[in-house]
Amino acid sequence: MAERCAVVGLGQTKYDRCLRVTMDGLVREAALKALDDAGLTFADIDAIVLGKAPDALEGVMMPELSLCDALNAVGKPIHRVHTAGSVGASTAISAVTLIESGMYNTVLTVAYEKQSDGDFMWALSGGKSGGQGAGGSFAPWIRNYIARSGAPEHIGWKVAVKDRLNALKNPLAHLHMEDINLESVKESPMLWEPLTFYEACPSSDGAAAMVMTNKAGVKRSSSKAPPAWVIAHAKRTELAVYPGRDPVKPLAGVDCAKELYKKAGITDPRKQIDCAELYVPFSWFEPMWLETHLICEEGDGWKMVDEGATEIGGDFPVCMSGGVLSSNPIGASGMVRCLEAANQVRGTAGDYQVDGAKVAMGQAYGGASNYFAMWIVSSDPDPTFN
């Protein structure tokens, strides 16, 4: 690796059902916010990396072409990344590699979804009846997790409440559920047993963008906030279906975390990482990923939730921004996890800032829990861990 990559600008739209602007306007809004945060303009950008979930979600094929004007990409290299729900994180990582390789000095990366232009359930079911939705696919595995770990049923409700309370501190979050509590989650309609309506993510429109650069570029940037240094990243994929596959604790998710920690020099993730934004579209994935990504021992993920360890103020806060449970612009959701990790180590997370956060993890998964992408950012370009 020739260059250390720094994140110097963050931009997000409000997450909601957006009828204000076009798809072009949405990605541009996030891009301009990120450039403004970095104290740079489109003229400073050498290349663009764009990500979104399947084209069928909005029915715009190869949107990286039609969005060129909005992203000021005419005459510049533009890359498109596609890895299902994990795409936002994969996109961010692809942008990082363009800096690390020394290929470009400053890169803009953008990810988005405009779910209100289409229908997620329709697209995922291939236009046929009987689509179960993502919840229907994941629910049996969640049931297996509960059976394996012996977790009590209130764990799922607790994650749903925690993330929605965190979202109240984030003005950009889609859901602001002031009155949410364990009882209201439990009593909300049962959608995919054991998952209730309030344990599932919303459908959101929105875009997220980051400006990345090298050490020399950090000096050129006039951002008011310090950079977040990308100290490690990893991606792993496995087949969605094969004999002997463990969909509750996928091997790809375990191996991805191992590689990530090894590259970062992390030996005890729970102690050495200050907080994490994990991709939790359904409540139970928080304890499942804590275990799969080796943040705790197998069977202990739900105990971390139960003890409050993953709340802001706990020893390992998760989804401080409100997470995917509070905003899910699918293609952008993975990038938001990476972006919010950077937000924490820059000390710019406002009301949901974790005190003194110096090392943070952003993670996303997609498909049938078979795509994983994650990174670790730090306020220090070369941190050491003991």
| Cis bond upstream, residue 194 (ω within 30) | yes
| CB burial string 300-321: b at 16+ within 10 A, e below | bbbbbbeeebbbbebebbbbbb
Smallest distance from other proteins to CB 31, Å: 10
Cβ closer to other proteins: 123 or 209? 123
Interatomic CA distance for residues 81 and 52, integer angstroms: 7
Q: Of the ranges 97-105, 220-228, 235-243, 320-328, which one interacts with other proteins (CB under 8 A)?
A: 235-243
When asked if residue 385 is in the footprint of other proteins (CB under 8 A), the reply is no
191: contact with other proteins by CB under 8 A: yes
In whole angstroms, the minimum distance from the beta carbon of 57 to other proteins comes to 9
| Residue 118 in the binding site for other proteins (CB under 8 A) | yes
List phi, psi (to 5°) of 339: -60, -45
Q: Is 210 helix (H, G, I), strand (E, B) or coil?
A: strand
Containing 266, the helix (H) or strand (E) segment is: none
> How many beta carbons lie within 10 A of that of residue 131, not counting itself?
17
Of 54, 136, 299, 314, the one binding other proteins (CB under 8 A) is 136
239 binds other proteins (CB under 8 A): yes
Q: How far is the CB of 218 from other proteins (least distance, A)?
A: 24
Under rule CB under 8 A, residue 69 binds other proteins = yes
240 binds other proteins per the rule CB under 8 A: yes
Name the phi and psi angles at 358, rounded to 5: -120, -25
Whether 55 and 299 have beta carbons less than 8 Å apart is answered as no
Whether residue 336 contacts residue 321, with contact meaning beta carbons closer than 8 Å, is answered with yes
Q: Is 224 exposed, middle or buried (0-12, 13-18, 19+ CB in 10 A)?
A: exposed
Residue 224 makes contact with other proteins by CB under 8 A: no
Q: Between the CA atoms of 54, 86, 37 and 74, what dihedral angle is there, to the nearest 10 degrees?
A: -40
Among 102, 127, 152, 350, binds other proteins (CB under 8 A): 127
Taking CB under 8 A as the rule, does residue 329 contact other proteins?
no
Q: Is 24 in the site for other proteins (CB under 8 A)?
A: yes
Size of the residue set binding other proteins (CB under 8 A): 62
Least distance from other proteins to the Cβ atom of residue 200, Å:
10
Min CB(341)–other proteins separation in Å: 30
**Min CB(75)–other proteins separation in Å:** 10
Pick one of 66, 77, 101, 122: the residue that binds other proteins (CB under 8 A). 122
2 binds other proteins (CB under 8 A): no
What are the distances in angstroms from CA 234 to CA 207, 238, 247, 289?
23, 14, 20, 15
Distance CA 163, CA 175 (A): 10
Among 18-26, 264-272, 286-294, 326-334, the segment contacting other proteins (CB under 8 A): 18-26
Binding site for other proteins (CB under 8 A): 18-25, 28, 42, 58-59, 69-70, 72, 74, 114, 116-119, 121-123, 125-133, 135-137, 139-141, 143-144, 147-148, 189-195, 239-248, 367-368
